[in-house]
Structure 1
Amino acid sequence: MNTILTSDPLLVVRDSDAEKRLDLLKKALAANEVVPYLGPGLLRLGSAETPVPPTPEAVAAALNAHARAPSKIRTNMWSVAQFIEQRRHRRTLQSWMAEIFGAPVAPSVLHAWLATLPLSLIVDSWYDGSMRAALAETGRTDVVEVQGVTRANEFGDIWTKTYDLSGREVELAPAAKTVLYTPHGSLRPAANFLVSDSDYVEVLTEIDIQTPIPEVVKERRTDRGFFFIGCRFDDQMLRIYARQIMKRSHGPHFAVLDAEMLTRNERRFLAASAITVVDLPTREATALLVPSDIGADGSQGHRAASSNFCCR
């Protein structure tokens, strides 16, 4: 049996069922029926060694190399960032984060392929800007990026800023074919980082009523499901954001994850959110998703055919 309903109850698909599900997801992505939600695990698609930190714990370690935080918070990215902001100033934290994520990161073949698809909405939950770079490499002019921004540098009710792919700040154009949403900010184009505890205080106060979520994201998620790849949910902050971004979306939802590695809290979150686990390594899932004739630049002819994605 390749589909298992666990005692959580968490639905896990394995082996041939996982491959069939990924084939449907491939078609759903090409038909703009699902929203890809990308995590830092995609950095490891190129090689085991990554040019920038691939986890919050790795960011915490990099920040500790600049200013050693107390041992009880040393592995928590958000707390270490808060420690630096309080002791050294916000500008110092922002400068160090820009340095930590400053190394060039080549988009993976998955990013390159997604950049060619007629997707209404893409969520990138890490700071490295790989998805932005992949979209820019296509030469597309019908894309805008909506980034979460810290309130520390702003006056008034500002939760996000919008940029075109050249890096120019623009008004949000509802007619944009693709909206790239980076809820935690990104290195490019303006080194916007939501990273410290204080960055999230007001966001988490308002996020349950959806105020920090851009209207264009709320509109475009309504009749779609979410597909999580390269993501973990082993921290409460990550679970809160994923839950609120997918709130009131149509579903169904899927996540590529190693079922054996899931924490108890992850299992509870996935089960409560009705997210089906596709139990495959990210690299193997990517190989099944991305067409074999895809070029390094993501070029490939494709047709947006219906996938019957909503039919389980």
Structure 2
Amino acid sequence: MNTQIETIKKEIRNQTTIPYFGLGVFEGATTKEGEALPYDSDSLILAMNGGRAMAPRLMYEYSRAAMHLEQRRGVDYMVQLINHIYTKPFDPTPLHKAIADMSPRYIIDTNRDTKFQELLAYTPHCLIIGKSRIMGNDYRYEIYEYDVENQKYFQVDDEVLESAEKILFKPMGSPLPVPSFVISDADYVDWLTEAMGGYAVPKVLRTYRKAKKYLFLGTYFDRDTDRMVANELTIDLEGGYVVTDRELGKKEQKFIDKHNLEVIPMSLPEFIHAFI
């Protein structure tokens, strides 16, 4: 197993395996005030609803719960709520730091925090923010270049990605540079619809990702939404790895088999201990 982990580390460093972060990377992590960070669908719903459980049909998946809150309180309320959850002070996890230290050119982070952005604060990079329900065009992303000297992002065109040394793709949004999130059912339906038409991933990355592997960290495939997002973001993949010691359901196993993914049968804390 240690030999396999060393191989993965080499593949990340030589840009053949792309790190892919999901909610589970925050299991056990807390804010500086001691508050647990959302690390799965249930805990994110509780965070969105003031620590209270919602009706069983809404607890099924956080996007459904977010849709319910959006219908009651509005889109702006949801943006402010998710921004509040992910701007509470907390440190990047050891896994964030370890991956950043390996200096991959391209990272996919489906979470809605700013930890990788903080770790790249003194490194030139491009940031791609996923968007939903944009009026006026079909594209479901915005691209920013980071000005290290002034510690600011400014919006740029796709062509900048061709020469970018580092690319951080946050398809579900981020608080920075402007709070914007894909979180509710309506957001996901819109994003996935345009993604299937090729409008959620810049053309440069659609070429770059061909024959790449992915290391799925804290990502689970027991929900349709997560499988569909992962499928669209990793088209033309060569295979990859899924870190999990959970018993896999039929849909999860089918997804893993279809995408030629290798299961690393370890809990994420065990993997992190061996990885760093």
Q: Is the 8 A contact 1:127 1:186 kept in 2?
A: yes
Matching residue of 2:65: 80
1:227 aligns with 2:197: no
Alignment partners' CA distance in 1, 2:46 and 2:36: 14
Q: Is the 8 A contact 2:214 2:241 kept in 1?
A: yes
Alignment partners' CA distance in 2, 1:164 and 1:39: 24
Q: Is the 8 A contact 1:40 1:125 kept in 2?
A: yes
1:35 aligns with 2:18: yes
Amino acid at match of 1:157: D
Please state how far the C-alpha of 1:91 moved relative to its aligned partner.
0.6
Pairs aligned (count): 267
- Identify which of 184, 202, 212 aligns with 1:196: 184
Matching residue of 2:128: 146
Please state how far the C-alpha of 1:163 moved relative to its aligned partner.
2.6
Alignment partners' CA distance in 1, 2:53 and 2:71: 13
Alignment partners' CA distance in 2, 1:216 and 1:129: 24
Please state how far the C-alpha of 1:198 moved relative to its aligned partner.
0.9
Amino acid at match of 1:164: E
Matching residue of 1:300: none
Alignment partners' CA distance in 2, 1:90 and 1:255: 34
Matching residue of 1:25: 8
Amino acid at match of 1:121: Y
Matching residue of 1:134: 119
Please state how far the C-alpha of 1:47 moved relative to its aligned partner.
6.5
- Identify which of 223, 242, 258 aligns with 2:230: 242
The structure-2 alpha-carbon separation of the partners of 1:207 and 1:157, relative to structure 1 and needing over 3 Å to count, comes to closer
Q: Is the 8 A contact 1:127 1:185 kept in 2?
A: yes
Aligned to 1:65, the other structure's residue is in SS state coil
Normalization by structure 2: what TM-score? 0.87
Q: What does residue range 151-300 of structure 1 map to in structure 2 within 5 Å?
A: 151=133, 154-165=135-146, 166-171=151-156, 172=158, 173-174=160-161, 175-249=163-237, 251-258=238-245, 260-290=246-276
Matching residue of 1:44: 27
Q: Is the 8 A contact 1:206 1:212 kept in 2?
A: yes
Greater RCO, CA 8 A, separation 6+: 1
The unaligned stretches of length 5 or more in structure 1 are 1-17, 291-312
- Identify which of 105, 109, 116 aligns with 2:94: 109
Alignment partners' CA distance in 2, 1:185 and 1:224: 23
Alignment partners' CA distance in 1, 2:186 and 2:98: 36
Please state how far the C-alpha of 1:276 moved relative to its aligned partner.
0.5
CA deviation digits over 1:93-150, x for unaligned, max 9?
A: 11111112221231122222322334221100111222222222xx112x11101012
The structure-2 alpha-carbon separation of the partners of 1:155 and 1:167, relative to structure 1 and needing over 3 Å to count, comes to farther
Aligned to 2:128, the other structure's residue is in SS state strand
The unaligned stretches of length 5 or more in structure 2 are none
Matching residue of 1:11: none
Matching residue of 1:299: none
Alignment partners' CA distance in 1, 2:261 and 2:274: 20
CA deviation digits over 1:164-188, x for unaligned, max 9?
A: 3434232141211111111111222
The structure-2 alpha-carbon separation of the partners of 1:30 and 1:45, relative to structure 1 and needing over 3 Å to count, comes to farther
1:90 aligns with 2:75: yes
The structure-2 alpha-carbon separation of the partners of 1:25 and 1:92, relative to structure 1 and needing over 3 Å to count, comes to same
Identical amino acids, percent of aligned pairs: 22
